[in-house]
């Protein structure tokens, strides 16, 4: 996992300046003369090329495939659970209060996500250097690892801007990311829904974050509500809410939750067959 990063406003090297300039034009557009279907396809291809380049440079193919398989297996296990069971298990483990604020809602009913956290933090700001602002955001987007969930703490209590939009989702999805949780805003909702990329956020607005919000750092701990989210903590979200499992308890919590769900299935059948709730509790120890 990459080390914590901080935006220094200097942006990428000259060799990448042309690409960043084009991205700046695209993401900050006010012009209607761009072929956006073509541009979106170019974004997907470029992000995919960068991902493949990074993988070949940093991780041998066999190890990368094993890592991908491991994350996919965990996500599949989590998808068969529900956040209520995970919260019950965390309570038993002494980790109460691991649910994010209830105002963080999915863009569409039925959205779910699961994956290790990649925290991002920033603050509302005015009179920003637009180029420096967007370079910081784009640099962060290019460093989110595959299978991870981007978790934003925006500190935008005034709901001034959208911190995630369509092109950001295109880039994240091309990198294989698992979804986004934003204590802040989102825009381009229809286009994002078409990407089949799960997003949970606090509000919606068409106002772009680039001139209104400054990214401070990423891949370092953030606090959302009363929950501290460390890089690598495991995030699971469904229609009931969002649970953050401390990384050190991930495997135990998932295993216990799987056992709890199996027991609840037995309880459900017993009650349907006429067993009283109290008798079921005495028999199984939970209800």
Bigger pLDDT: 97 or 7? 97
When pLDDT is averaged across residues 49-69 and rounded to a whole number, the result is 55
Q: CB within 8 A of 204, min separation 6: which ones? A: 162, 185, 186, 187, 189
Could you tell me the residue ranges of all domains in the chain?
A: 5-26+35-247, 250-284
Query: Which candidate, 247, 125, 142, places its Cα nearest to that of 150?
Result: 142
Percent of the chain with pLDDT over 90: 70
The string of pLDDT tens digits covering residues 247-257 is 999 999 999 99
What is the value of pTM for the model shown? Answer: 0.79
pLDDT digits (tens, 9 = 90+) for 206-242: 999 999 999 999 999 999 999 999 999 999 999 999 9
CATH architecture of 5-26+35-247: 3-Layer(bba) Sandwich (3.50)
How many Å apart are CA 155 and CA 139, to the nearest integer?
20
Average pLDDT, whole number, for the chain? 85
């Amino acid at each position: 996992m990459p080390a914590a990063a901080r935006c220094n406003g200097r942006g990428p090297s000259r060799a990448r300046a042309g690409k960043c300039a084009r991205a700046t034009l695209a993401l900050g557009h006010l012009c209607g003369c761009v072929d956006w279907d073509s541009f979106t396809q170019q974004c997907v291809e470029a992000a995919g090329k960068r991902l493949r380049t990074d993988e070949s440079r940093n991780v041998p193919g066999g190890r990368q495939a094993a890592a991908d398989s491991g994350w996919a297996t965990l996500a599949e296990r989590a998808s068969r659970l529900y956040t209520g069971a995970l919260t019950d298990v965390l309570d038993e483990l002494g980790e109460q209060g691991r649910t994010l604020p209830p105002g963080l809602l999915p863009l569409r009913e039925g959205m779910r996500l699961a994956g290790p956290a990649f925290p991002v933090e920033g603050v509302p700001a005015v009179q920003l250097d637009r180029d420096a602002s967007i370079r910081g955001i784009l640099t962060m987007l290019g460093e989110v690892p595959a299978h991870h969930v981007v978790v934003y703490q925006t500190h935008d209590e005034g709901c001034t801007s959208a911190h995630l939009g369509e092109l950001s989702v295109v880039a994240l999805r091309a990198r294989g990311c698992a979804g986004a949780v934003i204590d802040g805003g989102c825009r381009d909702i229809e286009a994002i829904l078409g990407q089949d990329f799960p997003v949970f956020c606090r509000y919606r607005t068409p106002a772009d974050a680039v001139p209104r919000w400054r990214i401070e750092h990423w891949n370092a701990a953030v606090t959302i509500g009363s929950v501290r989210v460390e890089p690598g903590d495991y995030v699971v979200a469904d229609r009931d809410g969002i649970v953050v499992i401390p990384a050190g308890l991930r495997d135990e919590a998932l295993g216990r939750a799987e056992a709890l769900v199996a027991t609840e299935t037995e309880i459900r059948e017993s009650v349907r067959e006429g067993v009283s709730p109290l008798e079921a509790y005495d028999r199984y120890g939970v209800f």
